[in-house]
């Protein structure tokens, strides 16, 4: 049998333009960092990284427009590259826009708050974050286990370096060590699960696995269990889902604040993209004729989601460090983001992705803005403890007001993006008759009110040690208010956003088309 190898054409490179732009900017900025004086070069490299992210986002938007045009013309609204190992579709494009937008906000905020003592390798930070988000984009668009793993490792390796950026701080070294060990362990579980899938189906293509796994289920159902549960453990470690979350508070506290923000939103979103690609293309689709295995996988995801929500908010109750509190908040929110995938799409519920992307967008805005405020407060108070927020209403009233909006959205209070994101996911659980999961979501939301009120209590009801005004750099203030305003806008305009996502995304086209 002759094997046909599909190669990239010049026409195909157009569909890789966002990834190529990020790779090119990484190389150019690295050279500039070596050539320019440090005082001048750092600012140029920071703004250059922001420009690269915006340029990549423009190309992604162009691809979304092209795919919409194809669909209106009756053509298939996706593009397969390298025999399907890389897909350009609306699922990947929407997530790429989220990743690029989140990273742009983080980079812009860091231009105003990042101190040399926090990130001594400031130039390297800006051109290392580009390959990191490139890895996240590869994870969103891959249709093959190999390219998925390459994207995951590209994101992981650059993140290890970024976490260890504060070389003079012992807590940063400890955080980097824990992150490397945890990340390596998670990658091992994922790779081991992938190897079982390949061994049973003879293919690394997700479409090929989906076609062949039915026979594997019939011949060796136990091995199918092993493969998917290895993958679940690996992704649970990557996403810091309870009970695999213990590393998150230490790593978030030890890493520089911009890196913490990146880990909390982009790295988490990329892991979810990979989880969707693998499970929807194989487990949820191929198991249509084997309800027992499919239901067991759904149950495992639901239990993880419930445990993450409860353990996350319970662990955050006694936290006095702002970054550790937000890390445990991220554990709970990861559980909420997992719920749409854990709901049975065959049970009259097919809007799993629109609910997921809406809450992911709200989560990005809430966390990017909150971490920007933490960076501002820590810069003035020289402390990341909650006590640093004491009296913030008197020292920086507009920043305190923006933080109040972000905190209310994290808690899920009306009228914010966080409120409607949780509400839509709650409706999904009720629609699929998962009442116990809906009860856990409601309980964790109520408990979270006390967690997030700790910020408000410090800002409005406590007096700070200093009454000096808090200086908010212009780039960071811009990010804070963009996030706060967008969070409120999502609360007032949830329907247009959901309709836009539903109009672009198609479960059949973006996952099951060959």
pLDDT digit string, tens, across residues 109-158: 988 666 555 555 567 888 899 999 999 999 999 989 999 999 999 999 99
Residue 85 within any structural domain of the chain = yes
More confident residue, 470 or 262: 262
Q: What is the mean pLDDT of residues 461-469?
A: 72
Q: Tens digits of per-residue pLDDT, 340-362?
A: 988 876 554 556 788 899 999 99
User: Three-state SS across 381-436?
Assistant: HCCCEHHHHCCHHHHCHHHHHHHHHHHHHHHCCCCCHHHHHHHHHHHHHHHCCCHH
- Helix extents (H) in 73-169: 90-113, 122-141, 145-163
The answer to whether 107 and 53 are in contact (CB under 8 A) is yes
Nearest alpha-carbon partner for 18 in 133, 114, 117: 133
**Residue 1 confidence class, pLDDT cut points 50, 70, 90:** very low
- DSSP code, position 169: -
Q: Tens digits of per-residue pLDDT, 384-393?
A: 888 888 888 8
Helix (H, G, I), strand (E, B) or coil at 351: coil
Residue 2 within any structural domain of the chain = no
- Read off the tokens for 376: 């501002």
d(Cα 231, Cα 277) in Å, to the nearest integer? 12
| Averaged confidence pLDDT in the chain | 87
d(Cα 432, Cα 423) in Å, to the nearest integer? 14
pLDDT reported for residue 119: 59
Cα angle for residues 485, 487, 488 (degrees, 5° grid) = 65
pLDDT reported for residue 122: 63
Phi then psi dihedrals of residue 47, to 5 deg: -70, -30
Domain count, the chain: 1
What are the distances in angstroms from CA 453 to CA 138, 407, 411? 38, 8, 9
Residue 5 within any structural domain of the chain = no
Residue 240 within any structural domain of the chain = yes
Residue 96 within any structural domain of the chain = yes
d(Cα 240, Cα 237) in Å, to the nearest integer? 5
Q: What is the mean pLDDT of residues 307-325?
A: 93
Residue with tokens 């231009």: 111
pLDDT reported for residue 127: 86
The answer to whether 219 and 96 are in contact (CB under 8 A) is no
Residues 6+ apart with CB under 8 A from 177: none
Residue with tokens 């190999």: 146
Helix (H, G, I), strand (E, B) or coil at 337: helix
Task: State which residues form the domain around 300.
Answer: 15-512
Q: What is the mean pLDDT of residues 258-277?
A: 93
Radius of gyration of the chain (CA): 22
Q: What is the mean pLDDT of residues 472-491?
A: 93
**Residue 190 confidence class, pLDDT cut points 50, 70, 90:** very high
Q: Are strands 86-88 and 79-81 parallel, antiparallel or unpaired?
A: antiparallel
pLDDT reported for residue 488: 95
- Read off the tokens for 503: 């109009």
Residue 9 within any structural domain of the chain = no
**Residue 288 confidence class, pLDDT cut points 50, 70, 90:** low
Residue 7 within any structural domain of the chain = no
DSSP 16-45: GHHHHHHHHHHHHHHHHHHHS-HHHHHHHH
* Neighbour count for residue 465 (Cβ, 10 Å): 11
pLDDT reported for residue 66: 87
- Read off the tokens for 238: 């990557």
pLDDT at 28 over 70: yes
Nearest alpha-carbon partner for 46 in 118, 128, 117: 128
The answer to whether 403 and 455 are in contact (CB under 8 A) is yes
pLDDT reported for residue 442: 95
DSSP lists the bridge partners of residue 86 as 81, 142
Q: Tens digits of per-residue pLDDT, 232-248?
A: 999 999 999 989 999 99
d(Cα 413, Cα 423) in Å, to the nearest integer? 10
């Amino acid at each position: 049998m002759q094997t046909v190898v599909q190669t990239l054409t010049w026409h195909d490179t157009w569909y890789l333009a966002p990834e190529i732009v990020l790779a090119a900017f990484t190389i150019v900025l690295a050279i500039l960092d070596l050539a320019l004086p440090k005082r001048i070069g750092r600012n140029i490299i920071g703004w250059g990284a922001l420009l690269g992210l915006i340029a990549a986002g423009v190309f992604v938007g162009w691809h979304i427009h092209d795919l919409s045009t194809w669909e209106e013309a009756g053509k298939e609204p996706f593009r397969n590259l390298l025999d399907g190992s890389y897909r350009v579709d609306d699922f990947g494009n929407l997530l790429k826009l989220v990743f690029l937008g989140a990273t742009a906000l983080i980079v812009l905020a860091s231009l105003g708050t990042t101190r040399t003592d926090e990130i001594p390798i400031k130039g390297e930070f800006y051109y290392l974050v580009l390959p990191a988000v490139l890895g996240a984009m590869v994870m969103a668009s891959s249709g093959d286990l190999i390219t998925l793993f390459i994207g995951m490792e590209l994101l992981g390796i650059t993140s290890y370096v970024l976490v260890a950026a504060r070389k003079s701080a012992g807590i940063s070294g400890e955080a980097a060590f824990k992150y490397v060990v945890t990340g390596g362990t998670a990658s091992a579980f994922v790779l081991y699960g992938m190897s079982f899938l390949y061994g049973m189906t003879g293919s690394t293509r997700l479409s090929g696995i989906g076609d062949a796994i039915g026979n594997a289920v019939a011949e060796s159902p136990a091995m199918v269990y092993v493969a998917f549960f290895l993958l679940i453990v690996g992704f649970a470690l990557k996403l810091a889902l309870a009970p695999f979350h213990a590393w998150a508070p230490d790593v978030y506290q030890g890493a520089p604040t911009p890196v913490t923000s990146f880990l909390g939103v982009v790295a988490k979103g990329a892991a979810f993209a990979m989880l969707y690609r693998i499970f929807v293309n194989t487990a949820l689709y191929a198991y249509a004729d084997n309800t027992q295995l499919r239901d067991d996988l759904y149950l495992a995801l639901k239990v993880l989601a419930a445990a993450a929500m409860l353990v996350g908010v319970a662990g955050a109750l006694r936290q006095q460090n702002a970054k550790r509190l937000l890390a445990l908040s991220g554990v709970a929110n990861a559980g909420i983001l997992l719920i749409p995938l854990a709901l049975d799409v065959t049970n009259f519920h097919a809007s799993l992705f629109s609910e997921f992307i809406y809450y992911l967008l709200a989560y990005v805005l809430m966390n990017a803005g909150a971490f920007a405020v933490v960076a501002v407060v820590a810069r003035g108070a020289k402390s990341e403890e909650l006590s640093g927020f004491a009296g913030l209403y008197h020292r920086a009233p507009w920043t305190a007001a923006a933080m109040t909006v972000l905190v209310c959205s994290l808690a899920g209070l009306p009228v914010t993006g966080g409120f409607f994101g949780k509400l839509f996911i709650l409706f999904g659980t009720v629609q699929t008759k998962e009442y116990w999961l809906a009860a856990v979501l409601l309980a964790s939301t109520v408990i979270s009110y006390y967690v997030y009120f700790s910020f408000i209590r410090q800002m409005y009801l406590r007096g700070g040690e200093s009454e000096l005004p808090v200086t908010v750099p212009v780039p960071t203030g811009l990010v804070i208010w963009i996030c706060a305003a967008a969070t409120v806008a999502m609360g007032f305009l949830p329907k247009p956003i959901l309709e836009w996502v539903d109009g672009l995304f198609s479960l059949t086209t973006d996952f099951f088309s060959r």
